[in-house]
């Protein structure tokens, strides 16, 4: 049984607008049998934080194209993407790419 973990979620580049404009969320993921991974976190976010228009945030079981995910200040591609196992006090950032100039 994995203990509950506290993590820090951040949304930026406009992705925060899907979360009532709040850029920072400190959340506690409940205790569960297996360790939490990014795939499960996305489902948890969808159920608990994202109430409307999920298609602007997720696509299939990952984030939609144009959102970059950072785990502790590194591109999640370097960390195992969906398979990354979350640790207590991790900092996860979802940043929407900007195109304006």
- The nearest distance, CB 92 to another protein, in angstroms, is 12
Which tokens is 45 given? 């976010």
> Of 59-78, which residues contact another protein (CB under 8 A)?
64-68, 70, 73-75, 77-78
- The nearest distance, CB 68 to another protein, in angstroms, is 7
54 contributes a contact to another protein by CB under 8 A: no
Total binding residues toward another protein, as defined by CB under 8 A: 26
For 76, list phi and psi in degrees, rounded to 5.
-65, -15
The DSSP code sequence of 53-87 is: -GGGTEETTEEPTTEEEEETTEEGGGTTGGGPBP-
């Amino acid at each position: 049984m994995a203990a509950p973990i506290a993590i820090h979620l951040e949304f930026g580049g406009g992705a925060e607008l899907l979360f009532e404009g709040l850029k920072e969320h400190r959340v506690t993921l409940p205790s569960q049998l297996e360790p939490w991974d990014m795939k499960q976190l996305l489902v948890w976010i969808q159920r608990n934080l994202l109430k409307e228009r999920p298609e602007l945030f997720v696509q299939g079981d990952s984030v939609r194209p144009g959102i970059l995910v950072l785990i502790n200040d590194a591109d999640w591609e370097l960390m195992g993407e969906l398979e990354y196992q979350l640790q207590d006090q991790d900092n996860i950032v979802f940043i929407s790419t900007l195109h304006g100039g």
